[in-house]
Amino acid sequence: MKYTEIFKLKDMLEKEGISFEWKDESYLFSTIGEEKYHICVPGFDLGARIVSIIQGWGTYGAEEDKLEIMGLLTNEEAEHDSVVGGLTAQDVFSRIKAAWDGE
């Protein structure tokens, strides 16, 4: 397994009791031998997704074992793109935890 950050994040969310949806999308890329994983964290009040995290073939930061997110971007990040890549599991967990705690 060449991607580890997404599994670290999955463990962090489970330990904190934050609900999420996990998808192993590697089967979509099995013909080229690639992995791809996806976590969606639903909104805490309305049920809408607050962040989507992806790691694997074709994602920003995949070559460095980093995560890409859509949602929970800073204002500066959102000015440049709708996604941000190159994040560690701890970077992403901190954003999710702050939203969970209502900060």
Q: What pLDDT digit, counting tens, does each position of 5-16 carry? A: 999 999 999 999
pLDDT mean over 92-101: 94
The neighbouring-strand residues paired with 38 are 23, 54
Q: What is the pLDDT of residue 46?
A: 57
Tell me whether strands 67-70 and 49-56 are parallel, antiparallel or unpaired. antiparallel
Are the C-beta atoms of residues 88 and 67 closer than 8 Å to each other? yes
Look at residue 13 in the predicted model and tell me its pLDDT: 97
Would you give the DSSP letter of residue 45? S
- Residues 40-91: pLDDT tens digits? 998 766 567 899 999 998 899 999 999 999 999 999 999 999 999 999 999 9
- pTM listed for this prediction: 0.88
User: How far is residue 82's CA from residue 77's CA, in Å, rounded to a whole number?
Assistant: 8
